[in-house]
């Protein structure tokens, strides 16, 4: 039976984790990205549809391709991050369902209902982006998510052939504590929760 | 400096965690829901906007109010779950920004741009729903997320006054291992990831 994780793990995942604006000069090896994916892939999605697709940008060429799409305030930290992830989704994700959800014909639920396919891809791709953020923290990385960029420019630069759609970006690395602002307040339980 | 969490924690959060279809007869006290919220609230959102709102349904009356909105296949497990969460968001979330993001006028970014407000509420409310799933696992609960229900019916039954919008549902409790199906396959690294 599961117990509450130890306090240090809860600190690392939630209570002490922060969105960094600057990075230490420490690389993130590709083996770490594989480790990260091999955790996040287990996060639950609707009908196991797993619509998210991830581009891990580590090279100067890749960063240069991304740069023109970034909001001014996101350029410096993204250019210096060891890895920037484009969290995207495949609008035709349902073509994988015969493999991912083999016990029934789930493909037809989405192939025949474009509106359902679109909201499912966005909702579940976003869930998987959150799993990536928390899996990164679980493997000892810091993560900084951003939606301040031009999605259409990213899609044109990276997904002209695949047809994938960008959702948001996540910088990965080892954060520089000097780059942190004080933590902003959160809504209280009574403000955000109703009990029924 | 953060290290990778121990293997048992990674199992509990990702590798061995499952979406249960049946529940043990063990209650989830309200103190546990407070503990859960006090972790998930720290998950990052755009401009700390924290648009998600959560309804924790524990009573027979609350479950009865939810039941007519559920897809047939989701009724039995939801009626027997100790807690069912409506993961929702407040479309007017930006009214909280003077408190949540006090160092600049972020309210106006959204108040003057309804399309940006809508996508921000949905994206970030969904991220917070994923934080809830993983925080539940971190405090030793099992979680079962569902989008098989009628959002408009839930909104009419629960949010006629608040104007909140339902996103998805999550059952919480201690899962019954006998209710599990075998785990479905996931996409491989090479199928879901591109390196640049």
**ipTM, 2 decimals?**
0.97
Q: Is A88 on the interface with B (CB under 8 A)?
A: no
Closest-CA residue of B relative to A38 is B189
Q: How far apart are CA B29 and CA B27, in angstroms?
A: 6
- State the pLDDT confidence band at A33, using cuts at 50, 70 and 90: very high
Closest-CA residue of B relative to A58 is B196
Segment A81-97 shows an average pLDDT of 98
- State the pLDDT confidence band at B1, using cuts at 50, 70 and 90: low
Computed over every residue of chain B, the mean pLDDT equals 96
> Beta strand A142-146 with B83-89: parallel, antiparallel or unpaired?
unpaired
Q: Quote the tokens at residue B95.
A: 């009214």
All domains of chain B, ordered by start, with CATH?
33-177 (3.40.109.10)
DSSP character string of B93-127: GGGGHHHHSTTTT-HHHHHT-HHHHHHHHHHHHHH
- State the pLDDT confidence band at A181, using cuts at 50, 70 and 90: confident
Segment B154-176 shows an average pLDDT of 98
Contact assignment for B138 to A59 by CB distance below 8 Å: no
CA nearest A32: which of A186, A138, A159? A138
Closest-CA residue of A relative to B18 is A44
Largest CA-CA distance found in chain A, in angstroms, rounded: 53
Order the strands of the A193-195 sheet from edge to edge.
Answer: A193-195, B52-57, B83-89, B165-173, B142-146
Whether A36 contacts B164, CB under 8 Å: no
Q: Is A61 on the interface with B (CB under 8 A)?
A: yes
Give the pLDDT of residue B179. 87
Contact assignment for B186 to A50 by CB distance below 8 Å: yes
Q: What are B166's strand-pairing partners?
A: B88
pLDDT of A143 above 90: yes
H or E segment and range at residue A63: helix A60-66
**Which parts of chain A are beta strand (E)?**
52-57, 83-89, 142-146, 165-173, 193-195
- For an interface test with A, which of B44, B51, B100 has the most A Cβ atoms less than 10 Å from its Cβ? B44
First CA to last CA distance, chain A: 27
pLDDT of B134 above 80: yes
Computed over every residue of chain A, the mean pLDDT equals 96
pTM of the entire predicted model: 0.97
CA distance B114 to chain A (A): 16
pLDDT of B95 above 80: yes
Contact assignment for A3 to B185 by CB distance below 8 Å: no
């Amino acid at each position: 039976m599961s117990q509450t994780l130890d306090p240090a793990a809860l600190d690392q995942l939630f209570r002490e984790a922060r969105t960094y604006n600057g990075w230490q000069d420490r690389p993130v090896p590709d083996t770490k990205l594989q480790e990260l994916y091999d955790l996040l892939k287990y996060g639950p999605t609707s009908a196991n549809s797993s619509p998210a697709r991830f581009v891990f940008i580590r090279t100067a060429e890749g960063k240069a391709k991304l740069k023109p799409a970034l909001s001014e305030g996101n350029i410096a930290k993204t250019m210096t991050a060891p890895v920037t992830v484009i969290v995207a989704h495949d609008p035709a994700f349902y073509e994988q369902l015969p493999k991912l959800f083999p016990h029934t014909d789930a493909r037809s639920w989405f192939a025949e209902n474009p509106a359902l396919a679109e909201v499912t891809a966005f909702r579940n791709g976003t869930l998987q982006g959150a799993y990536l953020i928390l899996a990164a923290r679980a493997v000892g990385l810091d993560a900084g998510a951003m939606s301040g960029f031009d999605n259409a420019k990213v899609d044109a630069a990276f997904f002209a052939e695949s047809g994938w759609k960008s959702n948001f970006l996540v910088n990965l690395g080892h954060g520089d504590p000097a780059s942190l602002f004080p933590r902003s307040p959160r809504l209280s339980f009574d403000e955000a929760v109703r009990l029924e």
